[in-house]
Structure 1
Amino acid sequence: MAKIQAPVQRGQVVHVTAADLTHEGKGVAKVDGYPLFIEGMLPDEAGEVEVTKLNKGYGFAQLKKLEQASPERVDPPCPVYDECGGCQVQHLSYNGQMDMKYNQVRGVIDRIAKLPDVPVHPVLGMDEPWRYRNKAQVPVGLSGGRIVAGFYKKRSHDIIDMTECLIQHEESDAIIQRVKDVCAANGVMPYDEQRHKGVLRHVMARIGYQTGEKMAVLITRTSELPNAKEIIDGIRAAVPGITSIVQNVNPDKTNVIFGPTTKTLYGEDVIYDTIGGVKFAISARSFYQVNPVQTEVLYNKALQYAGLTGEETVIDAYCGIGTISLFLAQKAKQVYGVEIVPQAIEDARQNAELNGITNAYFEAGKAEEVIPNWYKQGIKPDVIVVDPPRKGCDEALLATILKMKPKKVVYVSCNPGTLARDLRILEDGGYRTREVQPVDMFPQTVHVEAVAVLELM
């Protein structure tokens, strides 16, 4: 194995000044041109760091002593921020976070999409960038003989027992604590992932942000929940107004959270919430955006970019439970939604019925297979909306878009890097990117969403 040529050695302490941030929120400093990535360091900060790992073109270091702080540095309000891996940039002011996320999107649009002249607008942030998440799911374990519940420590499966998380809805914190306490009082043993023993694996809370409805989900290894009646009664007494108590059974030795069987122990199978006047039924396993305030901002921008007049046929690839589709259907002539998860399509159909929307059709399958079949049936979209997973659009779907030639493509992205890659492919196929709007869906983390609009030349 060739020796890594670097101007520093592992374990060496060096004095550096950070000049940039990575997309993971790490500070970037250079020693004789060799980049070091330093967790917790911000641009324009100087200090001593210890080199922890060397790679061929870059290394990692740990901040030992901060000598000059950035004016954008703030004290993280979360007491377990340094241990927990859930947030990455609580130590950066919210304005600083907006700048970081803008630079992340601008950078990949310039570097990967090679579109330096395309406008990237300032990030649309939140007035109140805390307590925004409507869903919390935490692992449960045993520590010192007592039940603990919370997020994992960074790079480990050790659970941090926490009473609150500052980016979760307050009601979620309360539900998780009460479920933990009630289960402990009724002798329900937490899951031991090493020995594959115990009962309670995870607790999940879902909140209807607009409706106030509450759901508690107990994810168990066993189908039998010991002392089930006492647990149900205990949760109902401890969480006033709870709408739904659900059990999901996952008997497998796996890191996957949900198992195949879900049963309602009390109340309704779903809770309801609204985004922009559209009502959604949310089950324990539904995919539903976790920040409903910013989801409305994002979807309104997508709707604006689609420029619908009521005469258009729209295809929504990766439609999920129909959130964007039903938004678009209010302004379009006809919307067709496709999603690979059959249960999501069932949810989408039910949500359309719930809202009395009759001009939205949903089909389960791979977008890159279903959409060409629609094309053969004579369905010719004026607008295609894509909202793919982090890996971006499937190559076959992009090829299909280029073949179908809709007048507009509206691209909603949760990963700026794959957005930029796909914009380049669409540009090379005859489209022009008009503008890109980043939206902060996940304050205090490094993640940023963006929506772009392209027109056929």
Structure 2
Amino acid sequence: MQCSYFDAHACRSCTLIEVPYADQVRDKEERCAELLSAHTGLQWLPSVRSPQEGYRNKAKMVVGGTAAAPTFGILDAEGRGVDLRGCGVIAPGIREVLPVLARFVTRAGIAPYDVPRRRGELKHVLVTESPTGELMVRFVLRTDGPVARIREHLPALLANLPRLVVVTANLLPEHKAVVEGDVDIPLTERTTLAMPLGGIALDLRPQSFFQTNTRVAQELYAQVARWVDEIGPASVWDLYCGVGGFALHCAAPGRRVVGIEVSAEAVESARHAARDLPDVEFAAGDATRFALESTEVPDLVVVNPPRRGIGPDLAGWLETSGVRHVVYSSCNPVTLAKDLEAMPSLRPVRGRVLDMFPHTAHVEVAVLLERVVAPR
């Protein structure tokens, strides 16, 4: 993939963009295989490849410049805005609305946040596109001062962008390197974005996590669901469940599924999506604490932790719990390998690399584990 921003050294985020895509995937396969090479019985399925362009369903644009001429992209080393509206990995449906949103910022007179001087208001514009083309836009502000102006000009924006169905103002008063704050002010009647995926109607609220690559996410959920259906467990836990993607894809008549997620916002999204499924329930809480305090042990556990992995406490519980099967979806094969070392009674039998982030070193890998030694 050719990128003028990369060639001009304006943005170097896609560190592998000059590497042929087939080589990128092969290198990720080899890296995962090497990290898990101690597990000799592991069968690797063919990798899932991604489109090389337009695969990101979410754009996290740092806003710079001025209200009259805002930039959407990143900041350079001096804190000045670098405009990346034409970024090739962002979904075309998002790219086409970024100029419209930039004009909205100008009309509403919202001053971009000046990082070096700690002045201004608008820090980020976050845009998410659903598989149906609907959009969620979040304006990340230093204070709620501009909210009235956003409300004033919002009807014209909605008329101009009929695909735009969810708009919020997110408040991030602190001066720190994070994308969003804790408070979202809804500005539209709808507050959730429907994310239909593989026949499952997921719901996405403003602060809920969703996989960035829709096509590869669909393959990931489908693969895990196939493994689970082959085993046929009567009970499943989905730990770190997010908006319930794995739990809902693994649901089946007579199968009790419980999803645990620390984000209450994500849990509300998951509950809404599961409203017609009596055997599926979700709760907000810490995944490790839930497992350690539970008096029940399910037949199968799905874990999809952040990059730090599940950690020694949850790995220790899985090792001694008697759980027959575990499906581990990892965005960091290094911590995956470390966690597997702490669960020697659970043997990886199948694995699959899923290239969620082309042109970068990041990779998703899913592994099916089965118990080979009874717990002590």
TM-score normalised over the length of structure 1: 0.76
Indicate the residue corresponding to 2:5 in structure 1. 80
* Contact 1:135 1:290 survives alignment (8 Å): yes
Structure holding more helix per residue: 2
The one-letter amino acid paired with 2:56 is R
Residues 7-46 of structure 1: pairs in structure 2 closer than 5 A: none
The one-letter amino acid paired with 1:77 is Q
* Contact 2:203 2:270 survives alignment (8 Å): no
For residues 309 and 170 of structure 2, the distance between their equivalents in structure 1, rounded to whole angstroms, comes to 30
C-alpha spacing 1:311/1:116, structure 2 compared with 1 (3 Å): closer
Indicate the residue corresponding to 1:12 in structure 2. none
Indicate the residue corresponding to 1:263 in structure 2. 185
Q: Which has the higher contact order (CA 8 A, sep 6+)?
A: 2
Consecutive unaligned residues of structure 1, counting only runs of 5 or more, are: 1-75
Q: Tell me the SS of whatever aligns to 1:345.
A: helix
Indicate the residue corresponding to 1:438 in structure 2. 353
* Among candidates 168, 184, 195, match of residue 246 of structure 1: 168
Q: Tell me the SS of whatever aligns to 1:192.
A: coil
| Structure 1 residue 185: Cα displacement | 3.2
Which deviates more from structure 2 when the two are superposed, residues 133-142 or residues 260-269?
Answer: 260-269
Residues 394-405 of structure 1: pairs in structure 2 closer than 5 A: 394-405=311-322
Consecutive unaligned residues of structure 2, counting only runs of 5 or more, are: none
Are 1:108 and 2:30 an aligned pair? no
For residues 204 and 296 of structure 1, the distance between their equivalents in structure 2, rounded to whole angstroms, comes to 22
Q: Tell me the SS of whatever aligns to 2:44.
A: coil
Which deviates more from structure 2 when the two are superposed, residues 305-314 or residues 384-393?
Answer: 305-314
* Among candidates 117, 125, 129, match of residue 49 of structure 2: 125
Are 1:306 and 2:228 an aligned pair? yes
Q: Tell me the SS of whatever aligns to 1:399.
A: helix
Indicate the residue corresponding to 1:367 in structure 2. 287
% same residue: 27
* Among candidates 37, 60, 65, match of residue 142 of structure 1: 65
Q: Tell me the SS of whatever aligns to 1:302.
A: helix
Q: Radius of gyration: which is bigger?
A: 1
What is the aligned-residue RMSD (CA, Å)? 2.1
* Contact 2:126 2:137 survives alignment (8 Å): yes
C-alpha spacing 1:289/1:349, structure 2 compared with 1 (3 Å): same
Q: How many residues align?
A: 369
For residues 368 and 348 of structure 2, the distance between their equivalents in structure 1, rounded to whole angstroms, comes to 6
| Structure 1 residue 156: Cα displacement | 6.9
C-alpha spacing 1:324/1:198, structure 2 compared with 1 (3 Å): same
Are 1:341 and 2:263 an aligned pair? yes
For residues 255 and 449 of structure 1, the distance between their equivalents in structure 2, rounded to whole angstroms, comes to 25
For residues 226 and 254 of structure 2, the distance between their equivalents in structure 1, rounded to whole angstroms, comes to 12
Indicate the residue corresponding to 1:358 in structure 2. 278
Q: Tell me the SS of whatever aligns to 1:243.
A: strand
C-alpha spacing 1:380/1:85, structure 2 compared with 1 (3 Å): same
C-alpha spacing 1:138/1:369, structure 2 compared with 1 (3 Å): same
The one-letter amino acid paired with 2:5 is V
Indicate the residue corresponding to 1:455 in structure 2. 370
C-alpha spacing 1:454/1:202, structure 2 compared with 1 (3 Å): same
* Contact 2:267 2:283 survives alignment (8 Å): yes
Are 1:215 and 2:136 an aligned pair? yes
Q: Tell me the SS of whatever aligns to 2:82.
A: coil
For residues 215 and 241 of structure 2, the distance between their equivalents in structure 1, rounded to whole angstroms, comes to 19
